[in-house]
């Protein structure tokens, strides 16, 4: 999608590189995050609600939202309106956690079909394999952690 490809996320990446105000990411990490985040926005624009981001997409999204003016304008360009972020999905009990897992699995299949690779690649999960945490559904090591 042209609108997604044309988004200027240089200021977001600059913020992510900051040691104190950001996450201290390298240029390489920021470039990878931009690719992933734009893929996430593409999926949202094509398939609508219910797309669950991987960790690197989510971090980039959070930092994009902090620039409220640019985020609002970018949403208008890509979606024709504002795309809200609901950070509590999966945290409101067992049924909600299952809904998150189902949505992530749907997102995973859509991502694979669109981009030819897995959304939950090791380099993008950025977790500490704490499968009690709410990101366990996106962890490539999850199956290994619970193998009998």
- Give the number of domains in the chain: 1
Long-range residue pairs from 84-90, CB within 8 A, at least 24 positions apart, any chain: 85/61, 89/52, 90/134, 90/137
Percentage with pLDDT > 90 across the chain: 73
Q: Sign of dihedral through CA atoms 94, 107, 35, 136?
A: positive
Q: What is the pLDDT of residue 148?
A: 27
Which residues span the domain enclosing 84? 2-145
> Which tens digits make up the pLDDT trace of 31-41?
999 999 999 99
Residue 116 DSSP one-character state: S
Residue with the two structure tokens 């999850």 = 142
Name the average pLDDT for the chain: 85
Q: If you average pLDDT over residues 39-67, what whole number do you get?
A: 95
């Amino acid at each position: 999608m042209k609108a997604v490809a044309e988004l200027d996320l240089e200021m977001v990446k600059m913020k992510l590189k900051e040691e104190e105000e950001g996450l201290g990411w390298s240029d390489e990490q920021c470039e990878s995050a931009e690719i992933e985040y734009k893929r996430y926005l593409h999926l949202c624009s094509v398939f609508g609600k219910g797309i669950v981001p991987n960790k690197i997409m989510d971090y980039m999204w959070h930092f994009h939202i902090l620039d409220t003016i640019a985020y609002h304008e970018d949403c208008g360009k890509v979606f024709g309106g504002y795309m809200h972020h609901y950070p509590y999905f999966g945290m409101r009990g067992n049924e909600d956690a299952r809904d998150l897992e189902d949505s992530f699995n749907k997102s995973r299949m859509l991502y694979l079909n669109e981009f030819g690779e897995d959304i939950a690649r090791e380099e993008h999960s950025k977790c500490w394999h704490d499968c009690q945490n709410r990101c366990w559904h996106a962890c490539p090591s999850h199956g290994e952690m619970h193998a009998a």
